[in-house]
Amino acid sequence: MLAITLKKARPNPEVEGDVGDIWYDFGFCTCRDDFEENFLGMLYQSLLPHSDQDQQRSRERTFEEFWKAYETGKLTKPMDSKGLKSRRQKLKHLQVFLNAAGPSGLRPSVWRLIRYINYSDPANITCPQSVFADYGFMKCHSTSQTLALVDVYRRLLKQADPLDLHDACLKGSLYEFATRYISVEDKYKSLMKNFYPL
């Protein structure tokens, strides 16, 4: 992540493997649009030293502090210590996401859903197990059904709060929730059933 930040870039969710995980792990999945992703990228850039004086030593300290914060689920701490708290708080769900316990912290599956639907061709990649089970993709028997369900969630998440969608998932009421925000054909009702409530 720091290498990407040094280049004044942001991670791309399309890239599979470690780089794709960076987009997820560092909270870019909580951003609602490109503007917010760029804003978050600038927050990470603000963590880096900008003067040439002792830049190498300062970068090493910054890297160590950043990595420890990431591993312990306290990634907002370096932001706040650099006076970035008010800027960070403009990203509604970032703090809760980043403060999950480390890189393998438990986070609502809606964030994996967002990563999945951000692929330009999600039908040609493996759907994460949590998304597969929680959001109805296990009931898709064709590429067209998968893409139709992706379209439903893309449209829905332009209007609905992701954590509200996750709550609906846990209540087993995805279709009912979606129809409060967008038009969804009745034929997708059966696809949007999951195992919840348990």
- The answer to whether position 105 is within a domain reads no
Same domain, 6 and 94: yes
The answer to the question of residue 20 being in a domain is yes
Burial class (CB in 10 A: 0-12, 13-18, 19+), 37: buried
Residues 81 and 151 in one domain: no
Domain boundary among 71, 98, 125: 98
Region 5-23 average pLDDT: 71
What pLDDT is stored for residue 133 in this prediction?
94
Through-space distance between the first and last CA atoms of the chain, rounded to whole angstroms: 37
Can you tell me the distance from the alpha carbon of 61 to that of 56, in angstroms, rounded to the nearest whole number? 9
> What is the C-alpha to C-alpha distance for residues 171 and 40, in angstroms, rounded to an integer?
31
- Answer yes or no: do 175 and 89 share one domain: no
For residues 119 and 181, state if they share a domain. Answer: yes
Band (pLDDT 50/70/90 cuts) for residue 125 is: confident
Q: Are residues 83 and 115 in the same domain?
A: no
142 found inside a domain: yes
6, containing H or E segment: helix 2-6
Range of the domain at 151: 110-188
Contact status, residue 5 vs residue 45, Cβ threshold 8 Å: yes
* Domain-located, residue 58: yes
Distance in angstroms (rounded) separating the CA atoms of residues 123 and 137: 10
Encode pLDDT of 16-49 as tens digits: 665 558 888 889 999 999 999 999 998 988 877 6
Q: Could you tell me if residue 94 is inside a domain? A: yes
- Given 98, 130, 157, which residue is the final one in a domain? 98
* Residue 196 near residue 170, CB atoms below 8 Å: yes
Q: What is the pLDDT of residues 144-177, one digit of tens each?
A: 999 999 999 999 999 999 999 999 999 999 999 9
Residue 35 in domain: yes
Q: What value does the mean pLDDT take over residues 98-113?
A: 79
Taking the C-alpha atoms of residue 157 and residue 136, their distance in angstroms, rounded to an integer, is 16
Q: Are residues 36 and 90 in the same domain?
A: yes
> What is the tally of structural domains in the chain?
2
Got the DSSP string for 93-161? THHHHHTSSSTT----THHHHHHHHTSS-GGGSPPPHHHHHHSSGGG--SHHHHHHHHHHHHHHHTTS-
Q: Which of 98, 127, 150 is the last residue of a domain?
A: 98
